[in-house]
Amino acid sequence: MTHSSFPEPACPEALRINNSVPMLHVADVDRSVSFYSLLGFACESRFSNPAGQTAWADISSGGARLMLARADGRVIPSQQAVLFYLYADDVRGLRSHLLDEAGLPDAGPPPSEWTRGAEPSIPDGAAVFRITSPFYMPGGELRVHDPDGYCLLIGQLQ
């Protein structure tokens, strides 16, 4: 469905972008590969620098893909002005897995439920928040922070 106020693509169909893979700059690629394995991602390929440190990795889970690249400088969680929207079939089961089996900290209610002036402190590094039920995600939505502070919103459509 095309909304009348939005322009049609100004690029011939044969030349249009047809896929994208987000790349996250992370402090430690191996640590991030391990974290994302908790969400079902598998490492497809990796590249190490001459010092033997993993500098880049390509990970995937089903149709979802991410590239992880070692950051040149310090990763500051509060400056990560991007979030990633992912989908899962069972967000409640995934939350239990992350808390119980993986031992990630429970960060409580997500920022959308905080009372102004009474914001709780968020644990540094990976954390799992309480599931919410926004109108656009009938099965629930789970907020997870990865070890570098990137925000992952994981929705369940049904």
Domain at 58, CATH number: 3.10.180.10
Residue 137 lies in a domain: yes
pLDDT for the residue numbered 1: 52
pLDDT band at 7 (very low <50, low <70, confident <90, very high): confident
Quote the CA–CA distance of 154 and 137 in Å, as a whole number: 10
Convert the pLDDT of each residue in 31-83 to its tens digit: 999 999 999 999 999 999 999 999 999 999 999 999 999 998 887 777 777 88
**CA–CA separation, 65 and 42 (whole Å):** 9
Residue 89 falls within a domain, yes or no?
yes
Q: Does 38 fall in a domain? A: yes
Q: Is residue 4 part of a domain?
A: no
pTM: 0.82
Total tally of structural domains belonging to the chain: 1
Burial of 102 (0-12, 13-18, 19+ CB in 10 A): middle
In a domain, 13, yes or no: no
Q: Which tokens is 26 given?
A: 């992370």
Domain of residue 71, residue span: 19-114+125-155
Residue 127 has pLDDT above 60, yes or no: yes
Mean pLDDT of all residues belonging to the chain? 89
- Say whether 27 sits in a helix, a strand or coil: coil
In a domain, 6, yes or no: no
Confirm whether 142 is domain-assigned: yes
